[in-house]
Amino acid sequence: MSELKLRKLYSFVAEMRKEETRPRILASHAIADLIHYSQTTRDPLLPSPLSKADRKDDPFTTDRQGSCLDTCTIS
């Protein structure tokens, strides 16, 4: 085996050993964690079906007070 192929093989084996030590969880546990997070964390961009969306919680809302959007005219 050539020296280059042997180095590549050793490198691949080292990467696989690192991958083997990486912690893993079951898919069902990961999905349960995602469901729990989405149920307990409020997203200001998604309106709640039980309440009116509050614009002050929306980080992408533009603050129109003090701006020139409503009061300025171009002549």
Given this model, what pLDDT does residue 55 score?
63
| Domain of residue 26, residue span | 3-42
Quick check: is 33 in a domain?
yes
Quick check: is 51 in a domain?
no
Any long-range contacts for 57-60 (C-beta under 8 Å, 24+ apart)?
none
Average pLDDT on 2-13 reads 94
Q: Could you tell me which residue, 30 or 51, shows the higher pLDDT?
A: 30
Q: Which two tokens stand for residue 49?
A: 């079906």
Given this model, what pLDDT does residue 19 score?
94
Quick check: is 34 in a domain?
yes
Q: How many domains does the chain have?
A: 1
Which tens digits make up the pLDDT trace of 31-72? 999 999 888 887 766 666 655 556 666 666 666 555 555 556
Q: How far from chain centre, in Å, is Cα 62?
A: 23
Quick check: is 25 in a domain?
yes
